[in-house]
Amino acid sequence: MFRIRKEFHFSASHQLSHLPDDHQCARLHGHNYIVVVELAAQRLNADGFVRDYHDLKSLKSYIDDHFDHRHLNDVMEGPSTAENMARHFYDWCAVRWPETSAVLISETPKTWAEFRP
């Protein structure tokens, strides 16, 4: 199995108001997010790629236009947790690139969420 990954960055705020008041995520705060999309294939295409990294450029545009320096509660359906964001970005990618195998989201250098069907 061949796998490639590409990393994207954006900054955004969110608030998880369904949590108890003493939970840090119940307060308005922000993160510098990292999104990693992974694509996998049993065979390489005629150019020798799983997929050309250049093709993934549209994800950067989507992130910049809809998520970067935004309040995620205004742009996400459901709670703006890393888990829900991983699923959201996976679904967006999988429609465009059938080789999409996983999306990882980091809110901090020590925390990661992953969606992999």
Q: What is the chain's mean pLDDT, rounded?
A: 95
SS3 97: coil
Count other C-beta atoms under 10 Å from residue 89's C-beta: 23
C-alpha to C-alpha distances, 8 to 27, 53, 78, 102, nearest whole angstrom:
25, 12, 22, 14
Q: One of 25, 31, 66, 114 is an active-site residue; which one?
A: 25
Residue 99 annotated as catalytic? no
The pTM of the full predicted model, rounded to 2 decimals, is 0.93
Q: One of 9, 23, 69, 83 is an active-site residue; which one?
A: 69
Residue 93 annotated as catalytic? no
Q: How confident is the model at residue 17 (pLDDT cuts 50, 70, 90)?
A: confident
Strands (E), 15-115: 29-41, 70-71, 100-108, 111-115
Residue 25 annotated as catalytic? yes
